[in-house]
């Protein structure tokens, strides 16, 4: 099963790379730059991990609503100190209290034994109540300010939003 998994992962990755537009930074991922809510950037725990969540409440359901995960993969510039990374992570976690639609935040560092990380070292996961909640987050002044700070020390990022689905 393991070899089947590796074959499928390589096939998917290969097809993805062929479709990715040329002219992007190395690896087909966006280099960090200035953030504005209308920018066209694609969107993407040291010490064992950390998380921050709001108290359970109602999450919207139906239509364009329902839980949405916002995943950010990042590689930071070499000159970024561990203390600076800690400040960035604390700032990201503080967005849970600043942005009403952001329900939780988790983060970690790459611990994979497979060499497919393409240089990404950190993973950040936020949970939102809906796709409308993501739109609210993207435009929120606290996020715009934080995103500019984050991008200024990022070498490259990849952002993906998805709706979790169970296999029946």
CA nearest 102: which of 64, 144, 68, 73?
68
- Catalytic (active site) residue 92: no
Q: For residue 65, give the H/E element and its range.
A: strand 65-76
CA nearest 157: which of 5, 31, 17?
31
Catalytic residue among 29, 70, 122, 140: 140
Catalytic residue among 35, 92, 137, 146: 137
In a 3-state reduction of DSSP, which class is residue 43? Answer: strand
3-state class percentages of the chain: helix first, strand second, coil last, to nearest 5: 35, 25, 35
Burial letters 70-91, b for 16+ CB under 10 A, else e? bebbbbbeeeeeeeebeebbee
- Catalytic (active site) residue 143: no
Q: Is there a contact between 34 and 124 (Cβ–Cβ < 8 Å)?
A: no
Residues labelled as active-site residues: 137, 140
């Amino acid at each position: 099963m393991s070899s089947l998994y590796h074959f499928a992962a390589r096939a998917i990755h290969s097809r993805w790379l062929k479709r990715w537009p040329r002219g992007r930074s190395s690896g087909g991922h966006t280099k960090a730059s200035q953030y504005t809510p209308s920018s066209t950037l694609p969107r993407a725990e040291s010490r064992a991990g950390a998380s921050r969540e709001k108290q359970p409440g109602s999450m919207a359901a139906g239509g364009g609503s329902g839980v949405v995960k916002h995943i950010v993969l990042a590689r930071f510039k070499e000159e970024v100190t561990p203390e600076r990374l800690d400040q960035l992570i604390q700032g990201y976690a503080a967005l849970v209290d600043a942005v009403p639609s952001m329900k939780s935040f988790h983060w970690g560092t790459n611990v994979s034994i497979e060499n497919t990380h393409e240089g990404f070292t950190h993973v950040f996961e936020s949970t939102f109540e809906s796709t409308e909640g993501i739109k609210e987050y993207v435009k929120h002044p606290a996020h715009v300010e934080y995103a500019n700070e984050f991008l200024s020390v990022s070498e490259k990022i990849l952002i993906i939003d998805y709706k979790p689905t169970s296999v029946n």
